[in-house]
Amino acid sequence: MSDPSIARLEQANEELRTQSNELAALAGSLAHEIKTPLSVIRLNVELIAEDLAELDHPVARRLGRRIEVVQRQCSRLEGLLNDFLRLTRLSHLELVAGSLNGLLEQVLDFFEAEARSRKVEVLRYLEADLPSVQMDKQTLQAALTNMVKNALEAMPEGGQLVVRTRMTRTGVAVDLIDTGQGIDSPTLLNMFEPFYTTKDAGSGLGLPMAKKVIEAHGGVIHVQSEVGRGTQFTLEFPTPRRL
Ligand SMILES: Nc1ncnc2c1ncn2[C@@H]1O[C@H](COP(=O)(O)OP(=O)(O)O)[C@@H](O)[C@H]1O
Ligand SMILES: [Mg+2]
């Protein structure tokens, strides 16, 4: 038996879904449109910086420092737009069997120098016989990069980051365990919402992007945290059933 009020609700729901899909597509094209002029700005700023570096004059040095600020903000905007585009374009994932350990090694290698300068010890416990996972390598790498970056940023006075992979009953799991500042309850409630950040220069797009990416891989993300002690994120991915 169909209840007319439920049918009305379902229709309203459907309309809302269409509207929000249209908005997401619009925001995605806006982000894409911004990228082109931004890269032109960045290129020209780089050229100006190169010219300035050749001049030996106090004014040139002062301008050089200002140009550095512009360059940093350009990179920040580019990172933000890329994360935003990944968030809106998750329907185009190309899933291929790949090694989660290999991907983590790449991400951790990338952060090696930064971790050292932040006095963070990174421990890798990667299960040798880990089954492969269906993954879109570039997208998953971006998600893991955001999460490792968050962990490093949570340890301003240094600390330890344990990265572990292991088999589970239905697939494989990655644990990212940091000894950072931990996450308070308001943040735990909101941190997966786009643009929610507790950082002065944060985008608030890292975790929502990571969560969407992990879910688009059929995975789930869990978090446990204690303020002042640290945080553990666990990502679980299914692996194809072996015959
Ligand atoms: N490992 C972590 N330790 C402590 N806080 C974290 C951690 N990861 C995420 N957070 C919190 O979640 C918020 C949202 O993270 P994210 O979406 O990556 O945005 P951003 O890093 O730009 O602030 C952060 O501002 C921070 O408060
Ligand atoms: Mg982040």
Same domain, 128 and 70: no
Indicate whether 189 belongs to any domain.
Answer: yes
Domain ranges, residue 167: 96-238
pLDDT tens digits for 182-201? 999 999 999 999 889 999 98
Domain boundary among 53, 71, 88: 88
Question: How far apart, in whole angstroms, are the C-alpha atoms of residue 148 and residue 85?
Answer: 20
Which uninterrupted H or E stretch holds 120? Answer: strand 120-126
Among 43, 25, 46, residue whose Cα is nearest residue 35:
43
Report the atom number in ligand 1 closest to the C-alpha of 176. Answer: 1
Judged by its nearest atom, the ligand closest to the C-alpha of residue 199 is: 1
Cα–ligand 2 centroid distance for 104 (angstroms): 17
* 63 and 141 housed in the same domain: no
Instruction: Answer yes or no: is pLDDT of 22 > 90.
Output: no
CATH number at residue 45: 1.10.287
Say yes or no: 181 and 73 in one domain.
Answer: no
Length of the chain: 243
Ligand 1 atom closest to residue 181's alpha carbon, by position in its atom list? 4
Residue 46 has pLDDT above 60, yes or no: yes
Q: Are residues 68 and 119 in the same domain?
A: no
125 & 224 share domain: yes
Q: Which of 88, 120, 138 is the last residue of a domain?
A: 88
Q: How far apart are CA 82 and CA 205, in angstroms?
A: 10
- Tell whether the model's pLDDT for residue 92 goes beyond 80: no
| Ligand 1 pocket residue status of 154, Cβ below 6 Å | yes
The reported pLDDT for the residue numbered 72 is 92
Identify the nearest ligand to the CA of 191 by its number: 1
Same domain for 137 and 226, yes or no, is: yes
Within-domain flag for 218: yes
- Alpha helices per DSSP H over 55-174: 58-88, 100-110, 112-117, 137-153
Which atom of ligand 1 is closest in space to residue 146's alpha carbon? 18
Q: Which residues surround ligand 2, an ion (CB under 5 A)?
A: 150, 206
Q: Answer whether residue 243 is part of any domain.
A: no
pTM: 0.82
The residue nearest atom 9 of ligand 1, judged by CA position, is 150
In a shared domain, residues 122 and 172 = yes
Q: Looking at the predicted structure, is the pLDDT value of residue 91 above 80?
A: no
Residue 243 has pLDDT above 90, yes or no: no
Q: State how many domains the chain has.
A: 2
Residue 26 pLDDT? 84
